[in-house]
Every structure is written in structure tokens, then in C-alpha cells.
Amino acid sequence: EAGVTQFPSHSVIEKGQTVTLRCDPISGHDNLYWYRRVMGKEIKFLLHFVKESKQDESGMPNNRFLAERTGGTYSTLKVQPAELEDSGVYFCASSRDSLAKNIQYFGAGTRLSVL
């Protein structure tokens, strides 16, 4: 079974540019999560999809961030326009049954550097 895959692994952009991160969850996992770790800080939740619906987007920092999951498969996270403080590692995770133990399987992350 393939794990959660994220693309790209690393992205370097200039302030003001747009970047789109992609996450492919484990096949059959309806739940998809985005987290990020800003330098020196803890890993923080951004949002949670159940299939194509946003179940919880309480962690989204501002309206420069847009997450989509059309068709309930892969998800994209777009940052537009990117700011310096957006630099960090963005993790995606998926889980099968959110009502049970909620064990989430994580991808390797996308390291975003905004210069």
C-alpha cells in the first residue's frame, strides 16, 4: 500500500509569488489533513477534509491560503501571495476512519522557503 505522498518535496519562491502544494492520501482514506511546522515552532493543524468537504478549517492562518480536494482524492494547498512567515514544512496526513482511533499517516512534507 502506497503511503501519503507530497509534491514537491522542496519549493523555493520569492515573496509575493504563488505556490501550490499537492498531497495524495492513502487510497481509501476519506480523511485528509494539512499541518505545518514553521521554523522553531510546533507542528500546527491547518485543516481537515472528509472526502471533498472541509470538516474543520479552524487552523488556516488567513485568506492567502486556499485548500481544495476536488473529487475527494488528492488535495492542493495554494498560498497566494506567499509571505516570508509562510516558510516552513507543510505536512499532509490521511486517515481511514475518523470516528475510531484517528491514527493519521503522514507524508514526508513539503519544505517551503519564501525569500
Residues in contact with another protein by CB under 8 A are: 3-4, 31, 33, 35, 41-45, 48, 55-56, 58-59, 91, 93, 95, 98, 101-109
- Shortest separation between residue 25's beta carbon and another protein, angstroms: 12
Strand residue runs (E) in the chain: 5-7, 10-13, 19-24, 31-37, 43-50, 53-56, 65-68, 75-79, 88-95, 105-106, 110-114
CB of 11 to another protein, least distance (A): 15
d(CA 47, CA 11): 21
Measured from the CB atom, is 79 or 92 closer to another protein? 92
Q: Which is nearer to another protein, 68 or 106 (CB)?
A: 106
User: What cell was used for 37?
Assistant: 511546522
For another protein, the closer of residues 17 and 113 by Cβ is 113
User: Beta strand pairing status for 110-114 and 10-13?
Assistant: parallel
Within a 10 A sphere around the Cβ of 78, how many other Cβ atoms?
15
Compute the least distance from the CB of residue 89 to another protein, in Å.
Answer: 10
Spatial distance between the Cα atoms of 31 and 111, rounded to a whole number of angstroms: 22
- Taking the complex as a whole, how short is the minimal distance between the CB of residue 48 and another protein, in angstroms? 6
Closer to another protein by CB, 41 or 71: give it.
Answer: 41
